[in-house]
């Protein structure tokens, strides 16, 4: 049985913290795909959609920065 109060808590956390799906899933100890389903299928809303679209538009930048930080850390 799906606990809609928990779903609402997850969605509200994602929206208020303008978080990523990964960080939200980590915070609640659930799978990324579960968070994504909550945001897009079970309780979709305009704010979540905007955040998801924004995160998607900058993911190549975050990925590149993470790789750069990894190699800088390896050098030192």
Quick: pLDDT tens for 14-67.
999 999 999 999 999 999 999 999 999 999 999 999 999 999 999 888 888 889
Tally of domains within the chain: 1
- Beta-carbon count within 10 A of 3 CB: 8
Q: Does the pLDDT of residue 76 top 90, yes or no?
A: no
Instruction: pLDDT band for 7, please (50, 70, 90 cuts).
Output: very high
User: Residue 6: in which H helix or E strand, if any?
Assistant: helix 4-17
Q: In which domain, by residue range, is 48 found?
A: 4-75
Rounded Cα distance between 24 and 6, Å, is: 13
Per-residue pLDDT at 51: 98
Reading the block at residue 48, the tokens are 């979540």
- What predicted TM-score, i.e. pTM, was given to this entire model? 0.83
């Amino acid at each position: 049985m799906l606990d809609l109060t928990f779903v609402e808590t997850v969605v509200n956390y994602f929206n208020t913290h303008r978080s990523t799906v990964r960080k939200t899933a980590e915070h609640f100890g659930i799978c990324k795909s579960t968070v994504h389903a909550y945001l897009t299928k079970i309780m979709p809303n305009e704010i979540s959609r905007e955040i998801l679209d924004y995160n998607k538009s900058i993911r190549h930048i975050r990925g590149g920065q993470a790789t750069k930080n990894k190699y800088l850390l390896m050098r030192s």
